[in-house]
Amino acid sequence: MAFADVYKKQVALLLRVLPFVTEEECFALKGGTAINLFVRDMPRLSVDIDLTYVPVAPRAESLADIDAAMKRIVGKIKEKIPGAQVHETQREGATVKLVVRSQNVQIKIEVTPVLRGCVFEPALTAARPAVENEFGFAETRTVSFADLYAGKIVAALDRQHPRDLFDVRDLLANEGITDEIRKAFIVYLLSHDRPMSEVLASPQKDISDEFLHGFEGMTDKPVSKDELITARK
């Protein structure tokens, strides 16, 4: 299965923007983009820049630092990418989300101010060979493998999106659940905004619409909906 052109264009924009994010040392990349472009050899595309704010500081200080860093990113995007438009979303007076549009393509940059810091140390990571062959060299700071997948497992339990289920499926087929992932998982589960019992016992949802409109065309090999449902179990 070939990657859908629209997703390839989004990844190209994402990787064009990513160096501006990397310059902000308070942030580390997490989520599907970190997994599929910097850990796995691009089994699927990912089109969002999800960030962890790494320092552990009082909330007001953290929000001010996040806001300043995000505004610097906005300035660099507008300076370096002619015609780019950036929409900012604020929370408690701090910019926490950017929607970047350029040449009819849109990506999102988002940081969660609630859960700050990492269980294990982030590291500077180069993009995988398939990414470099298709889009060029990229390097950024990512959260640790354990942090990545602990957060991903919680997301898969909580929202059950096909992209999350795909990433967990690949973990189970390769490294499995390590002791470090277990430790980090407990931290992320306890830090979730929903009660732990609700996250662990989330009713199984119908993923058909999200599979069709938010997943098909993202993978390098065909993946059936039933495979993802099996991973959820």
Q: What is the largest CA-CA distance in the chain?
A: 48
- Report d(CA 36, CA 166) in Å as an integer: 10
- Report d(CA 164, CA 1) in Å as an integer: 19
Q: How far is CA 194 from CA 56, 199, 202, in A?
A: 22, 7, 11
Q: What is the pTM of this model?
A: 0.93
| Three-state SS at 135 | helix
Joined together, the tokens standing for residue 32 give: 């599907």
Q: Where are the domains of the chain?
A: 5-232
- Report d(CA 36, CA 48) in Å as an integer: 11
How many residues are recorded in the chain?
233
Joined together, the tokens standing for residue 197 give: 């019992």
Joined together, the tokens standing for residue 55 give: 């320092």
Per-residue pLDDT of the chain (233 residues; tens, 9 = 90+): 568 899 999 999 999 999 999 999 999 999 999 999 999 999 999 999 999 999 988 999 999 999 999 999 999 999 999 999 999 999 989 999 999 999 999 999 999 877 788 999 999 999 999 999 999 999 999 999 999 999 999 999 988 899 999 999 999 999 999 999 999 999 999 887 777 767 777 778 888 888 888 888 889 888 888 888 887 66
Cα angle 94, 122, 111; round to 5 = 20
Burial 113-134 (b: 16+ CB within 10 A, else e): beebebbeebeebebbeebeee
Q: Where are the beta strands (DSSP E) in the chain?
A: 27-30, 48-53, 85-91, 94-102, 105-111, 123-126, 139-142
